[in-house]
Amino acid sequence: MQHIAAILSKENFTKEDIIELLKAEGDDKLHLFEKALDVKQKNVQNKVYFRGLIEFSNICSKDCLYCGIRKSNPAVRRYNLSDDEILDAARFAYESDYASIVLQSGELSGKQFTKRISKLLDQIMKLSDNKLRVTLSCGEQSAETYKEWFDHGATRYLLRIESSNRDLYYKLHPHDDKHSFDTRISCLQAIKSIGYQTGTGVMIGLPFQTLEEMANDLLWMKSIEIDMVGMGPYLEHVDTPLYQFRNDLLPVVTRFDLTLKMIAILRIMMKNINIAASTALQSIDKLGREKAIKIGANIIMPNITPGQYRDDYRLYDNKPCTDENPEDCKSCLEIRIALANNDIAYGEWGDSIHYKQS
């Protein structure tokens, strides 16, 4: 306890400090979570901001070894929402006072895709009187494409690094031009320099991953001054190459616990960023997202993809809520967030304070 208290009172954590915190159990762990909650309350309040998540297509040109919608998985039924379906979902978010949406998809590139997103952005700005904030999460694109989307009204971009360790990255991705670690880093740099609120994140409990690499992920996020983070437990998917290592993984409850600790530590390290309570947490523990909210997270992404497609955006096995509708998600979350003693900030953008102050 003494030892953890000494670490928690420091201004800056070293890699060794973070590893100690990731190992904390019992009272030590509670102490970490209490400190994170205190930092959250003082810096971003007891508030949760909604980002309505529209998973608009699962068509993907990449072959990430962990991901259920990878190009080489023939078992996936591919879909692509129509523009009207996307706009209806955006309108639902706007009328429900969510204030922000996320457009996420598998990774496609090219002129046609770029123009489609630009046009959708124009239409979303129009239907919401410029009041909906839009986050894009459409993978690696050229700097010109990122700029074009920014000019059409997108203000936030999410691109998880997945692991900031190059060697581990290449154990999770094919080693080719389409899956280059350096390209991913330079995409993040381009996104940031264009002026987006920039988000990244990692998976936790990956095969081969060590506590040291997790600690370095957090230090890396701080070093690049990220504005938003989404981190979730790695969950195996039966139709992916990484599934072969399923017997070497940490138990899911340990991956869950490590994710909560990563969120808590990051909240202490980066006091005023936005941190998401990832959906993957909820597939391990029904109250997973609420638990994350209680120890530092302040963003939830209610799924507003039309119900009939949700089952096909299956990144990992046992993805929760695939049989629900947007309205069900809303009322379910209202109860859950109240249980976590937080208020839903309806109608507020909840821009990253870190971004505004930088």
**Contact residues for ligand SAH, defined by CB under 6 A:** 66-67, 104, 106-107, 137, 139, 159-160, 162, 203, 232, 234-235, 237, 280, 315-316
Exposed, middle or buried by CB within 10 Å (0-12, 13-18, 19+), for 163? buried
Nearer to ligand SAH, 52 or 106 (CB): 106
Could you tell me the smallest distance in angstroms from the CB atom of residue 43 to ligand SAH?
A: 26
Shortest gap between Cβ of 11 and ligand SAH (angstroms)? 30
Judged by CB, which is closer to ligand SAH: 88, or 317? 317
Nearer to ligand SAH, 312 or 348 (CB): 312
Nearest in space to 56 (alpha carbons), one of 306, 324, 328: 306
Report DSSP letters for 137-182, one per residue.
Answer: E-----HHHHHHHHHTTEEEEE---B-S-HHHHHHHS-SSGGG-HH
Q: E strand or H helix at 10, and its extent?
A: none
**CA dist., res. 283 & res. 256, Å (int):** 10
Could you tell me the two tokens for 297? 């997270």
Question: Could you tell me the smallest distance in angstroms from the CB atom of residue 152 to ligand SAH?
Answer: 19
In this structure, the number of other CB atoms found within 10 A of the CB of residue 6 comes to 11
Coarse DSSP helix, strand, coil percentages of the chain, rounded to the nearest 5 percent = 50, 15, 40
Report in angstroms how near the CB of residue 2 gets to ligand SAH at its nearest. Answer: 36
The candidate with the shortest Cα–Cα distance to 303, out of 291, 315, 292, is: 315
Quick check: 301 and 89 in contact, CB under 8 A?
A: no
Q: Can you list the alpha helix ranges (DSSP code H) found in 45-100?
A: 83-95
Instruction: Return the number of the residue (17 or 55) whose C-beta is nearest ligand SAH.
Output: 55
* Residue with Cβ nearer ligand SAH (28 or 107): 107
Nearer to ligand SAH, 93 or 203 (CB): 203
Minimum CB separation of residue 76 from ligand SAH in Å reads: 13
Determine the Cα angle at 208 with ends 58 and 105, to 5°.
10
Please, what is the minimum distance in Å from the beta carbon of residue 235 to ligand SAH? 4
- Inter-residue long-range contacts of 40-43, CB under 8 Å, 24+ positions, other chains counted: 40/267, 40/295, 40/296, 40/298, 42/271, 43/271, 43/272, 43/353
C-beta closer to ligand SAH: residue 67 or 268: 67
Cα dist from 315 to 11, 76, 255, 318, 357, whole Å = 37, 10, 17, 9, 34
- Shortest distance in whole angstroms from residue 10 CB to ligand SAH: 30
Q: Report, in Å, the least distance between residue 93 CB and ligand SAH.
A: 19
Nearer to ligand SAH, 41 or 189 (CB): 189
